[in-house]
Structure 1
Amino acid sequence: MYFLAQLNVYAVIIGLVIAIIFFVQAVIRQQKYDKLVRKSEHLIWINENEISTIETFDNGYYDGEKFEQPHHLYTDDLDIFGANSMYSLINRAKTFNGIHYLSQLFLTLPTKKEIADRQSAILELEQKLDWRQDFANTLFEFVNGEKRDFAKEIDAELQLELNFVQGKVLNLYRKALPIIWLAVATLYFINIDIANIFASVFFMFNLVLTFRKVKETTHVQGRLSNASIMLRSYGDALDTIFSEQWTSPLLKTQVEKFKVSAEKDSSTKVLKQLQQIIEQLDYRLNFIPAIILNGMFLWDFRVLYKLVGWKEEHAGKLNELFEFVGEMEAFSGLANWSYNHPHYTMPTIEEEYFSLAAIDIKHPLIPSEENVGNDFSIQKGEYLNIVTGSNMSGKSTLLRTLGINMILGYTGTRVAAKSLSFPIVKLISYMRIKDILEESVSTFKAELNRIKMILDILKTDAQCFILIDEMLRGTNSRDKLIGSIGIAKRLLAEKTYSMIATHDIKLAELGLEIPEGIANYYFDIDYADGELVFDYKVKQGICENFNASFLLSQLGIDMGEE
């Protein structure tokens, strides 16, 4: 610039323009390479996380703890949310909408068509490994998605007062600036000195105008600045979705809903327009460009005026776009689970209440080397299915295995079995009953509350599937047996299908008294070299071997004569 200045002003201008062009190109290339590096680092993390999830059940995504509900029909008993839960294994969502949409798939009862559509979508996504990882990469930089509803945050930020840039005189002057500068440039060919005076006056006048509203502009820029990265991520995510060809009815319909024709503004364009406006407003953070751009073009006002126009045209569109991205995140996570477990199966949904048939069904949260599969079925008319067995033999696990796989099936993904069929029914569990000190609720009172809840539901909807693990533990053995038999008979009278795990042989012998509608199953144990041996295989009948005395004697407790 120094040597060019020795020639004339035109050489300086030409040299400056060339320097700026080269500098901008260098910055663009640097940003491109930085993005490639970040993408590669993210991709490494994504794949290392998959290995960790498969081998140790340790997933780096959010585990759904906030969705835990102690009084829910089944989530607490079946380990749906929280640490070491089904949600914690499946979730690959980073955004608020994705995290919440996936939770609703575990909480709401779908129709048969919804399950079929989900299965089709998940099977299609299952085959798109590279696409799923690219999609996850676009949203990788989201943090605290379980807490931050980004769509609401943006809407709130866009409610900022922008009247200070909407005056008629100011807008007229802003629009006239290009013509004014063209006139000044023309004047340079006539009289350089006069042109310099005019240029200096307009430049300083523009800076004064900008400075008068610098506080208001800084407030707007500060509120919106953090949104730029997130909007870019959403835009990249939508581009990734729309660039793929979809065939499953659910995905195809959803994509076509948001992907409009080339003649109109596309969904991604709406996002990118806002992102670009915010990025342009951030130019003012660099002192030299801020001085030049505001002195020449009233840059701050020009960008804020574009923001006003964007608000008027696209207000309210962001939320539905973010919800759509969240849905794709949820289904991508379910497809990821499906891909990681190709030996699992898509369940068959039955019309009839009630029939259930499983071959080699396993609990999806038990490591494979410890996981024993079972064949199990419930026939029409077998309302009460009573499972007896010793401690640690597998009774409770069987109930949880059936329940968690049914919920997994309702989401549309693969279940941990070679084959599984079941109907769409309201699932209710009665397992981990515990006292609640802060609510002054004893264990027995908590059990009574659970029983009352079940009976209240049966008044309006008897077509449920109820899983009960050792009911009435909080009272004495005599009342426990009498109460358990009473509850079992009530369920039988309602013709509600249930599974009851119990140590009470007398409860299991209810089938001898009422042979119709009751089926008995048991888990056996054996002794070998002074040790208990469990095969964890369910069998038909009533258990005859129990292990409490043996386990207590191993602790040195004298059990007396048998």
Structure 2
Amino acid sequence: MEPTIIADYQQRALEAKTQFTRYEKLANQYSLLRLVIFGLIVVGIYFGVVYNDIAIVIVAFILLGLGFAWLVSKQSGFEEEKKYYQDLTKVTENEIAGITTRANLYDNGNSFSDDKHFYTADLDIFGHLSLFQMLNRAATFAGRSRLAFWLSKPSVKYVILNRQDAVKEIAAKNSWKLDLQARLVFAIAEPGNHLEQLITYLNVPLNLKGENWLSKYAKIAPWLLLAAIIGTWFYYPVKMLAVLIGLTNMSIIFSRAKAIAKTDLIAGKIGKILGNYASAFEGIEQEDWDADYNSNLASFIGKDGTSARIKELSHLINKLNYHLNPYIGFFLNLFLLWDIRQIIAIENWKRNNRQNLEKAFDVIAEFEALISLSSMHINNPQWAFPIIVDGAAYSITAKQIAHPLINPDYAVKNDYELEDTYKIDIITGSNMAGKSTFLRTIGINTVLALCGAPVCAESMAVSVITMVSYMRIKDSLNESTSTFKAELDRLQMLLAAVESDEKIFFLIDEMLRGTNSVDKYLGSKAVIERLISKNGVGLVATHDLQIAHLEQKYPDYVRNFYFDIQVVDGEMLFDYKIKNGECKTFNASLLLKRIGIDTEASN
């Protein structure tokens, strides 16, 4: 199945590249035509001055100017199409890279890392080569934050099921999904707070001095100047009136330069960005949705016409940006008081349209998070959507479950069953036999299951639980914390969590490593017995076989499993398969012997 998916992406990327090349050629052709038209305008002005013929100047300005503006508009459209297909190629090739090399152009979520979180640090949820890096297709900071939140806390059952339906529907619309990614990929390079700045700008009025009379004058100023220019044909001295009107217009522009600059400082930079967001909103609004989750999100922005409103603001800001071309800006302000007209139009838009806009951008964030889960479903169609089960006790059952971050060519699959019960499973085994990986396999797939994503398993059923892990305990020089103190802090957090109202499922890997073997055994035994007394449920991996003897004391609560090795001709062979019972084979002495330390000789 995977080669078929890759071939599909390769075909899509090829088609996108072909369109990119087409629009690049058109943009270059129209750029050359613009240069020709500009040259004709200069020639027209020259002959108008030489022959003192205002008609030639008017023709040069109006007719050729209109032609120049049309060419600018067409070239701008071609540039937008070219950029779109370039981005579509980028996001499509990124899917190929994600499947073949696990590379990803999107953020790896390192900023969301938290060593004190219940489980994210131990289960490689954020950071380099993490689950987030594998999943993430959110270009905006809001989208990344939404996905990070989903991975950091289990959702309630009805939300999980609704998300599953939404993810399946989006996965069936791969062309739409890639299109939306292409329209939003620009946000990767934008500052994380660019939307926050936009919302702040929309809520702060400009307070343009004299706005009312300026608005009225800006409407009649072009007609006054045009009448004065035409009047020079009949009575030449009228040209002084035309000059006076022109100077008045420019003095108004210069007198409001501070207000124009203030608008330009923020709005001037976001016109094109808003255009991209408008396109994304439009793509969501116009798609037909069956899943309730998707339909509700789309209807929220559709009923307010969000895409049209954003597109209108983008258009207004882009019109203001015309003044960035000194030649065009001068004549637009001279004849039309262009900058004044645009900042007034922008202020009117802000007054009438800023409501609910912040919530509308939340819809984008939500869809980006859903798209992230959908990419995993598309790229791994053999993965299953888990069943979310009810019940007073705990359930985690899985068939052929594997770790999603391990190359599928090497990942070993296992079965596990904990069905509507209260148990603590002790897992013993040799070094490197697979105990820690198995704990992380159960943990990371449960994270996926409880956020609405498919899991790396043939099938899985899980109740809504909150995990707490005790695995990678680190000291901290900054906090003057030893390893043993860090372990005690983690244990205290675990025990406090178990006593809460939530369903806590713990993952403990080699408890109390920072102390001597006697205290380690006695402390670990006492902690497990405390957990049993609190109806705690989870997995405990250990090298200490004495811990496995707790099954004899608590036969109805403790179960033993193990990972072992086979030694053939002095070589260790690992099958990484979980088995019932206690481990009988250990390999520390063999591993030490390989680096030149003979434990038997030392005796």
TM over 0.5: yes
Using the alignment, how far apart are the partners of 2:365 and 2:235 within structure 1? 59
Give the equivalent residue in structure 2 for 1:21: 66
Query: How much does 1:181 deviate?
Result: 4.3
Query: How much does 1:270 deviate?
Result: 1.8
Using the alignment, how far apart are the partners of 1:412 and 1:384 within structure 2? 26
Query: How much does 1:144 deviate?
Result: 4.4
Deviations 1:448-479 (A, max 9, x none): 11111111122222631111101111111111
Using the alignment, how far apart are the partners of 1:240 and 1:491 within structure 2? 51
Deviations 1:146-171 (A, max 9, x none): x5222211133346663334344434
Using the alignment, how far apart are the partners of 2:475 and 2:120 within structure 1? 17
Matched, 1:466 2:506: yes
Q: Tell me, yes or no, if the aligned pair for 1:166 and 1:305 is still in contact at 8 Å.
A: no
Query: How much does 1:139 deviate?
Result: 1.2
Query: How much does 1:498 deviate?
Result: 1.2
Deviations 1:378-398 (A, max 9, x none): 144451111110000011111
Amino acid at match of 1:163: N
Q: How many residues align?
A: 556
Partner SS for 2:576: strand
Matches within 5 A, 1:474-489: 474-489=514-529
Give the equivalent residue in structure 1 for 2:446: 406
Q: Tell me, yes or no, if the aligned pair for 1:97 and 1:149 is still in contact at 8 Å.
A: no
Q: Tell me, yes or no, if the aligned pair for 2:211 and 2:344 is still in contact at 8 Å.
A: no
Matches within 5 A, 1:291-440: 291-352=330-391, 353-440=393-480
Query: How much does 1:10 deviate?
Result: 4.4
**5+ long unaligned stretches in structure 2:** 1-43
Deviations 1:510-545 (A, max 9, x none): 101221111110111001232110000101000000
More displaced, 441-450 or 373-382?
A: 373-382
Using the alignment, how far apart are the partners of 2:199 and 2:484 within structure 1? 48
Matches within 5 A, 1:153-552: 153-158=197-202, 162-181=206-225, 183-184=227-228, 187=231, 191-260=234-303, 266-352=305-391, 353-461=393-501, 463-552=503-592
Using the alignment, how far apart are the partners of 2:200 and 2:118 within structure 1? 36
Query: How much does 1:185 deviate?
Result: 6.4
Query: How much does 1:409 deviate?
Result: 0.9
More displaced, 501-510 or 300-309?
A: 300-309
TM-score scaled by length of structure 1: 0.94
Q: Tell me, yes or no, if the aligned pair for 1:468 and 1:500 is still in contact at 8 Å.
A: yes
Q: Percent identity between the aligned chains? A: 34
Of 150, 175, 188 in structure 2, the residue corresponding to residue 105 of structure 1 is 150
More displaced, 177-186 or 408-417?
A: 177-186
Deviations 1:298-340 (A, max 9, x none): 2111111112212211234332222111111111111011100
Deviations 1:478-532 (A, max 9, x none): 1111111111111111112111001111101110122111111011100123211
**5+ long unaligned stretches in structure 1:** none
Q: CA RMSD in A?
A: 2.1
Amino acid at match of 1:133: L
Q: Tell me, yes or no, if the aligned pair for 2:122 and 2:470 is still in contact at 8 Å.
A: yes
Partner SS for 1:433: coil
Deviations 1:124-149 (A, max 9, x none): 0111111111111111222345x522
Deviations 1:70-129 (A, max 9, x none): 010000011111111100101011111111111111112211110111000000011111
Using the alignment, how far apart are the partners of 1:259 and 1:168 within structure 2? 33
Using the alignment, how far apart are the partners of 2:175 and 2:215 within structure 1? 49
Which structure would you say has the larger RCO, counting Cα contacts within 8 Å and 6 or more residues apart? 1
Using the alignment, how far apart are the partners of 2:101 and 2:459 within structure 1? 25
Using the alignment, how far apart are the partners of 1:414 and 1:160 within structure 2? 44
Partner SS for 2:577: strand
Using the alignment, how far apart are the partners of 1:48 and 1:172 within structure 2? 53
Distance 1:236 1:462, change over 3 A: closer
Using the alignment, how far apart are the partners of 1:26 and 1:172 within structure 2? 31
Using the alignment, how far apart are the partners of 1:483 and 1:29 within structure 2? 75
Q: Tell me, yes or no, if the aligned pair for 1:382 and 1:519 is still in contact at 8 Å.
A: no
TM-score scaled by length of structure 2: 0.88
Using the alignment, how far apart are the partners of 1:170 and 1:514 within structure 2? 86
Using the alignment, how far apart are the partners of 2:212 and 2:419 within structure 1? 78
Using the alignment, how far apart are the partners of 1:389 and 1:548 within structure 2? 11
Deviations 1:398-427 (A, max 9, x none): 111011001001121110000000100111
Q: Tell me, yes or no, if the aligned pair for 2:272 and 2:318 is still in contact at 8 Å.
A: no
Partner SS for 1:123: helix
Amino acid at match of 2:112: F
Using the alignment, how far apart are the partners of 2:465 and 2:337 within structure 1? 64
Query: How much does 1:217 deviate?
Result: 1.8
Amino acid at match of 1:55: T
Amino acid at match of 2:563: F
More displaced, 160-169 or 268-277?
A: 160-169
Distance 1:45 1:186, change over 3 A: closer
Using the alignment, how far apart are the partners of 1:40 and 1:294 within structure 2? 35
Query: How much does 1:242 deviate?
Result: 1.6
Using the alignment, how far apart are the partners of 1:26 and 1:161 within structure 2? 35
Q: Tell me, yes or no, if the aligned pair for 2:466 and 2:502 is still in contact at 8 Å.
A: no
Q: Tell me, yes or no, if the aligned pair for 2:565 and 2:574 is still in contact at 8 Å.
A: yes
Partner SS for 1:533: strand
Using the alignment, how far apart are the partners of 1:215 and 1:300 within structure 2? 12
Amino acid at match of 1:487: V
Q: Tell me, yes or no, if the aligned pair for 2:510 and 2:540 is still in contact at 8 Å.
A: yes
Give the equivalent residue in structure 2 for 1:43: 88
Distance 1:74 1:344, change over 3 A: same
Partner SS for 1:59: coil
Using the alignment, how far apart are the partners of 2:207 and 2:300 within structure 1? 35
Using the alignment, how far apart are the partners of 1:333 and 1:235 within structure 2? 21
Q: Tell me, yes or no, if the aligned pair for 2:385 and 2:449 is still in contact at 8 Å.
A: yes
Q: Tell me, yes or no, if the aligned pair for 1:165 and 1:301 is still in contact at 8 Å.
A: no
Distance 1:161 1:382, change over 3 A: closer
Partner SS for 2:499: helix
Q: Tell me, yes or no, if the aligned pair for 2:225 and 2:246 is still in contact at 8 Å.
A: no
Partner SS for 1:355: strand
Distance 1:462 1:495, change over 3 A: farther
